[in-house]
Amino acid sequence: MRDLDAHVARALALVAPLAAERLALGGALGLTAARDHAARDASPPFDNSAMDGYAVRSADVQGATPASPVVLPVAGETAAGAPPGVVPAGHAWRIMTGAPMPDGADAVVPVESTDGGVTDVTMTASVGEGRHVRRAGEDARPGDVIVHAGQCFTAVRAGALAAVGVATVDAVRAPRVAVIATGDELVDVGEDLAPGQIHDSNSVLLAGLLRQAGADPVVIAKVSDRPEELLARIAAVDADLIVTTGGVSVGAYDVVKEALAARGVEFVRVAMQPGKPQGLGLVNGTPTVCLPGNPVSVLVSFATIVAPMLRRLGGDSGGGGIVDSRAHEAAVVDEGWSVPPGRRQFMPVRFTAAGTVVPATPGGSGSHLIAGLAAAEALADVPAGAERVAPGDTVNLVRWSR
Ligand SMILES: Nc1nc2c(c(=O)[nH]1)N[C@H]1C(S)=C(S)[C@@H](COP(=O)(O)OP(=O)(O)OC[C@H]3O[C@@H](n4cnc5c(N)ncnc54)[C@H](O)[C@@H]3O)O[C@H]1N2
Ligand code: MOO
C-alpha cells in the first residue's frame, strides 16, 4: 500500500498554478492573491474620535473631577462625515465617534464624563494627551501589504482591502473542475428509488466541497457502469481537473478502472481509512483523480488529496501538504474508537460543548454513513500504527473547507 503523503506528492506533481486575472474585489472571494496587495489609503484615513464627547486640549481639563469640575465654552461640533473644525484654546468641541478631530484638540472627553452641554460643557474627568483619539495610519499606511501573494481572499481580507481603498485585485482564476459520478445504481435526488437504487449524493457533496474551496464545478454528471459512456463524457470535458467517484475497487463492474487504467490512470491502494482504493493520472492531458464511491471516502479523499491539488492550482505556495500548513488544529478526544491496522485513519468527529471531540457517527467509521456525516465538523487524523484512540488523547484535525 502507498503512503498517503507519497500519493499526495504524486497528485501535486500533476498540477501547476493557473493564470491570474484582474477582478473587482467582491468577485475575488475564495480565490488566491496572485501578488501582494498594498494599502492605497491610510487606515484610519484621518485622526478621529473613538468616542461621542468633546474634543479638547488635554491641558484645559487637567484636574477635573466630580468635586471640582472644569467648565468650557463649546466652540462648535462635528459629526462623522463632516470636515474637521478648529477648536480655540480654552474651548471644547462637541464631537461624534468617527468624526475628524478639530485642529488644536489632542484628546476627547467622553460624554459620560460631562453634563452634555451644547453652549457650555461641565467636565467631571480629566484626560491625557491622545486619549480616545484614533490616529491616521495607526492601522495601515499607504503601501503596507495587507494581503500577501498566495493568500486566499477571505471575507475578512476583502474587508481589510476595502478599508484601505483597494477596489481591484489580481487573483488566480478559479480551477474549473468536472465531477463525474459512476454507477448503475444512481438516480438523481428528487427521483423515487426503485429496488437496488440509491440517490447520487457524491455529485452533490463534491460540487459543494469544490465551491466551498473556491473552485468552479463546471461539469456535474453521472454515468452508468458502461465504460463507453464514461469515456464519452470525459472526452467532452474542458476542465483543469476531473474528479470521478466509484468504480475503482476490485468488483466485476468497476467502470472507472476498466475505462481509465489503459488511458493514463494508475490505480493504487493508499494506506488510509476510509479512501483506500484510488486512481491518479493524466487523461487526454487533464489531471484526473478517481475516488472510491463510498461517500465518507469521498469526503476524506477530497480533504486529503483533492484540496491540496486545488490549492496548488490556485497558486497557493503554502507547502502543499494535506492541511494548509498555516491551519493546524488539534483537539482532545472525549470518546475513544478503534483504528484499523496499518492504515492512517480519518475519523469524522464533532465538537462537544467542552471543545473536545467525539465520533460524529455512532459506531464510528463506516464509509457509507453519509447521513450521519451531517454531524461532522472535522476529520481526526490518526497516524497508522495506533491501535486505539483513547479518551484524553490529542488528535490533529483536518477541515475540508476554508
Ligand atoms: N472485495 C473487496 N471489496 C471492496 C474492497 C476491497 O478491497 N475488496 N474495498 C472496499 C472499499 S474500502 C471501498 S472504499 C469500496 C470502493 O468501491 P468503488 O470505488 O469501486 O465504488 P463502488 O463500488 O462504485 O461504490 C461503493 C459504494 O458507494 C456507493 N456509491 C457510489 N457512488 C455513489 C454516489 N454517487 N452517491 C452515493 N453513493 C455512491 C455505492 O452504491 C456503494 O455502496 O469498495 C469496497 N469493496
Ligand atoms: O477504504 Mo474504503 O474507502 O474503507 O470505504
Do 167 and 303 lie in one domain? The reply is no
Which distant-in-sequence residues (6+ apart) come within 8 Å of 277 by Cβ? 248, 249, 250, 267, 268, 269, 270, 292
Give the position, in ligand 1's atom list, of the atom nearest the Cα of 254: 20
Q: Is 301 in the pocket of ligand 2 (CB under 6 A)?
A: no
Which CATH number belongs to the domain containing residue 381 in this structure? 2.40.340.10
d(CA 217, CA 348): 24
User: In whole angstroms, what is the distance from residue 271 CA to residue 269 CA?
Assistant: 7
Ligand nearest to the CA of 297: 2
Q: With respect to residue 333, please indicate whether it lies within any of the assigned structural domains.
A: yes
Quote ipTM for the complex: 0.97
For residues 327 and 399, the answer to whether their CB atoms sit within 8 Å is yes
Does 215 lie in the same domain as 111? Answer: no
CA of 380 to the centre of ligand 2 (A): 16
297 CA from centroid of ligand 1 (Å): 9
- Cα-based distances in Å from 299 to 84, 187, 395: 56, 20, 19
How does the average pLDDT of the chain come out, rounded?
A: 94
The residue whose C-alpha atom lies closest to atom 39 belonging to ligand 1 is: 293
Q: Are residues 205 and 226 in the same domain?
A: yes
| Among 72, 105, 134, residue at a domain's last position | 134
C-alpha cell at 227: 465504460
Find how far residue 107's CA is from the centre of its chain.
40
Instruction: Answer yes or no: do 213 and 276 share one domain.
Output: yes
92-95/120-123 β-pairing:
unpaired
Place of cell 435526488: 189
| CATH code, domain carrying 286 | 3.40.980.10
* Separation of alpha carbons 345 and 337, rounded Å: 11
- As for how many domains the chain has, the answer is 4
User: 24, exposed or middle or buried, with CB in 10 Å at 0-12, 13-18, 19+?
Assistant: exposed
Residues 6+ apart with CB under 8 A from 159: none
Residue 177 belongs to some domain of the structure: yes
Nearest atom (ligand 1) to Cα of 247: 20
- The closest-lying atom of ligand 1 relative to the alpha carbon of residue 245 is 32
The CATH number of whichever domain residue 166 belongs to comes to: 3.90.105.10
Identify whether the C-beta of residue 266 lies closer than 8 Å to the C-beta of residue 281.
yes
Take residue 256 and report the three cell numbers written for it.
472507472
Q: Which residue, 268, 287, 313, sits at the end of a domain?
A: 313
Residue 394 domain flag: yes
Testing ligand 2's pocket by substitution, the residue of 297, 304, 365 carrying the most ligand atoms inside 8 A of its CB is: 297
Strand partners, 288: 242, 281
DSSP single-letter state for residue 26: G
Output the ligand 1 site: residues, CB below 6 A: 181, 183, 185-186, 198, 200-203, 245-251, 254, 274, 276-277, 292-295, 297, 367-368
Domain that holds residue 95: 48-134
Please indicate, yes or no, if residue 65 is contained in any of the structural domains.
Answer: yes
The answer as to whether 114 is a domain residue is yes
CA angle at 339 for the pair 337 and 344, rounded to the nearest 5°: 130
In a domain, 321, yes or no: no
Backbone dihedral angles phi then psi of residue 206, each to the nearest 5 degrees = -70, -40
In a domain, 121, yes or no: yes
pLDDT of residue 321: 42
pLDDT computed for residue 150 by the predictor? 86
The ranges of the chain with pLDDT < 50 are 319-323, 325-326
Tell me how far apart the 2 most distant CA atoms of the chain are, in Å.
Answer: 94
User: Cell digits for 360?
Assistant: 460524529
Atom of ligand 1 nearest to the CA of 291: 19
Q: Locate all alpha helices (DSSP H) within 213-254, ordered by sequence.
A: 227-235
Is 186 found in the same domain as 82? Answer: no
pLDDT tens, position by position, 152-208: 898 999 999 999 999 999 999 999 999 999 999 999 999 999 999 999 999 999 999
191: three-class secondary structure by DSSP? coil
The CATH number of the domain holding residue 80 is 2.170.190.11
Q: Is 273 in the pocket of ligand 2 (CB under 6 A)?
A: yes
Domain co-membership, 291 together with 152: no
201 and 308 in a common domain: yes
Domain check: are 190 and 276 in the same one? yes
Answer yes or no: are the C-beta atoms of 108 and 131 closer than 8 Å: yes
**223 in a structural domain:** yes
Sign, Cα dihedral of 374, 376, 377, 383:
negative
Both 354 and 242 in one domain: the answer is no
User: Closest Cα to atom 4, ligand 2: which residue?
Assistant: 274
* 3-state class (DSSP) for residue 164: coil
Instruction: Supply 252's cell numbers.
Output: 466485476
Q: Tens digit of pLDDT for each residue in 297-326?
A: 999 999 999 999 998 998 876 544 444 544
pTM: 0.86
Q: Are residues 282 and 205 in the same domain?
A: yes
Give per-residue pLDDT as tens, 205-232.
Answer: 999 999 988 899 999 999 999 999 999 9
The rounded Cα 189 to chain-centroid distance in angstroms is 28
Segments in 245-400 forming alpha helices (H):
255-260, 295-301, 307-313
Whether the CB-CB separation of 55 and 101 falls below 8 Å is answered with yes
| Same domain assignment for residues 115 and 179 | no
CB count, 10 Å around CB of 394?
A: 12
3-state SS assignment for residue 235: helix
201 & 280 share domain: yes
Q: Sort 21 into a burial class: Cβ within 10 Å, 0-12 / 13-18 / 19+.
A: middle
Question: For ligand 1, what atom is nearest to the CA of residue 294?
Answer: 28
